[in-house]
Amino acid sequence: MNARRRPLESVRVLLVEDNAIVREVIERLLAGFGSHVTAVAGAAEALEAMRWARPDVLISDITMPDEDGCSLIRKIRTLPSDRGGAIPAVCLTGRDAVEDEARILRAGFQGLLAKPVDARRLVTMVTDMAAGRDARGEPHLALGPESPSGPLFTTRPQLCLII
On whether the CB atoms of residues 11 and 55 are closer than 8 A, the answer is: no
Give residue 100's pLDDT band: very low, low, confident or very high (50, 70, 90). Answer: confident
- What is the CATH number that goes with domain 12-155? 3.40.50.2300
Query: Can you tell me whether residue 147 is helix, strand or coil?
Result: coil
Q: Where are the domains of the chain?
A: 12-155
Determine how many CB atoms are found less than 10 A away from the CB of residue 63. 14
Q: Quote the pLDDT of residue 123.
A: 94
Over residues 52-81, the pLDDT tens digits come to: 999 999 999 999 998 999 999 999 999 999
Distance (Å, rounded) from C-alpha 3 to C-alpha 74?
34
Burial of 146 (0-12, 13-18, 19+ CB in 10 A): exposed
